[in-house]
Amino acid sequence: MAGKPKKSAHYTTLLQADVPKGRNGKHKKIVTHILGELDRLEAGSALKIPLGDLGDTKENIRSAVNRASRKANRKVATAADSEHLFLWNTG
């Protein structure tokens, strides 16, 4: 009995070794920059970032910083007013 002809795949295939590892989300650049600034921040000081410099809403950036800081096992606090996002190291 002859086998059925194979249907062509709808999606492209590739080797698993060629699959990109990790995730570079859309906030990676700003979050990496903020965490770098927090690394250099003196105790008792806070970053004051104009909301216009964030490239997204303060809520989205705050969430992205929170995820990244938890992943790095560090504690970062945030606050905001109508014009700025404030971040500082805690603990």
Tell me, what's the pLDDT at 75? 95
User: What is d(CA 73, CA 70) in angstroms, rounded to the nearest whole number?
Assistant: 5
pLDDT exceeds cutoff 70 at 1:
no
Cross-strand bridge partners of residue 47:
87
Over range 10-14, report the average pLDDT. Answer: 85
Tell me, what's the pLDDT at 8? 64
User: What is d(CA 53, CA 34) in angstroms, rounded to the nearest whole number?
Assistant: 11
User: What is d(CA 65, CA 20) in angstroms, rounded to the nearest whole number?
Assistant: 23
The model carries a pTM of 0.73
